[in-house]
Structure 1
Amino acid sequence: MPHDHGHAHMDPASGDRRVALAIWANMLLTVAQIIGGVLSGSLALIADAIHNFSDMASLVIAYGARRIARRPADSAMTFGYGRIEMVAALINYTTLILIGVYLVYEGGMRLIDPPQVAGWTVVILGGVALAVDTLTAGLTWSMQKGSANIRALFLHNLSDALASLAVVGGGALILLYDWRLVDPLVTLAIAGYILFLSIREIGGPIRMLMLGSPPGFDAHAVLDAVRATPGVESVHHAHFWQMQEHAASLDTHVVIDNDAWPRQQQIKEEIKHMLGAQFDIHHSTLELERADDAHSGAALFGRDGGCGH
Structure 2
Amino acid sequence: MHTDSQKRLAWGIALTGTFMVAEVIGGIVSGSLALLADAGHMLTDSAALMLAWFAARISQRPADPQRSFGYERVQILAAFVNGLTLIAIVLWIVIEAIRRLATPVEVAGVTMMSVAVLGLVVNIVVFAILHAGDSDNLNIRGAALHVLGDLLGSVAAIVAAAVIMATNWTPIDPLLSLLVALLILRSAWKLTKESGHILLEGTPDELDLERMKREIPEALPQVCDVHHLHVWSLTPGRHLVSLHAAVSPGTDQQAVMLGIRELLIERYAIAHVTIQIEADGECIDERAGAEGGAPSRVDSSG
TM-score category of the 2 structures, normalised to the smaller one? 0.7 to 0.9
Amino acid of the residue matched to residue 280 of structure 1? A
Distance 2:39 2:178 in 1: 20
1:215-242 CA-to-partner distances (Å, cap 9, x unmatched) read 1211111121222212112122111111
Call closer, same or farther: CA 1:47–1:76 in 2, change over 3 Å. same
Indicate conservation of the 8 Å contact 2:30/2:108, yes or no. Answer: no
Distance (whole Å) between structure 1 residues aligned to residue 246 and residue 278 of structure 2: 5
| Structure 2 alignment gaps of length 5 or more | 284-302
- Please give the alpha-carbon distance, in whole angstroms, between the structure 2 residues aligned to 1:63 and 1:47: 24
* Alignment match of 1:277 (pick from 256, 266, 286): 266
In structure 2, the residue matched to 1:86 is 76
Query: 1:301 maps to which residue?
Result: none
2:281 is the counterpart of 1:251: no
Given the alignment, which residue of 41, 58, 65 partners 1:51?
Answer: 41
Indicate the residue corresponding to 1:64 in structure 2. Answer: 54
Give the AA of the match of 1:95.
T
Q: Is the 8 A contact 1:82 1:243 kept in 2?
A: yes
Q: Please tell me whether the aligned partners of residues 122 and 167 of structure 1 are also in contact (alpha carbons under 8 angstroms).
A: yes
- Deviation (angstroms), 1:60: 0.2
Is residue 144–residue 154 contact of structure 1 (8 Å, CA) maintained in 2? Answer: no
In 2, Cα distance between equivalents of 1:184 and 1:144? 35
| Unmatched tracts of structure 1, length 5 or more | 1-10, 295-309
TM-score, length basis structure 2: 0.87
Which one of the candidate residues 171, 188, 201 is aligned to 1:181? Answer: 171
Structure 2 counterparts to residues 54-133 of structure 1, below 5 A: 54-133=44-123
What code does the residue aligned with 1:237 have? H
**Cα shift at 1:137:** 0.9
Whether 1:170 and 2:160 are equivalent positions in the alignment is: yes
Amino acid at match of 2:53: Y
Supply the distance in 2 between the matched residues of 1:176 and 1:42 (Cα, whole angstroms). Answer: 17
Q: CA deviation at 1:42?
A: 6.2
RMSD: 2.1
Q: Aligned pair in 2 of structure 1 residues 105, 239: CA closer, same or farther (>3 Å)?
A: same
Instruction: Please tell me the residue identity of whatever aligns with 1:247.
Output: R
1:114 and 1:180 in contact (8 A); partners too? yes
TM-score, normalised to structure 1's length? 0.85
Residue in 2 aligned with 1:4?
none
Sequence identity (%): 31
Over 3 Å counting, the alpha-carbon distance change for 1:243 and 1:34 in structure 2 is: closer
Which of the residues 240, 264, 287 maps onto 2:253?
264
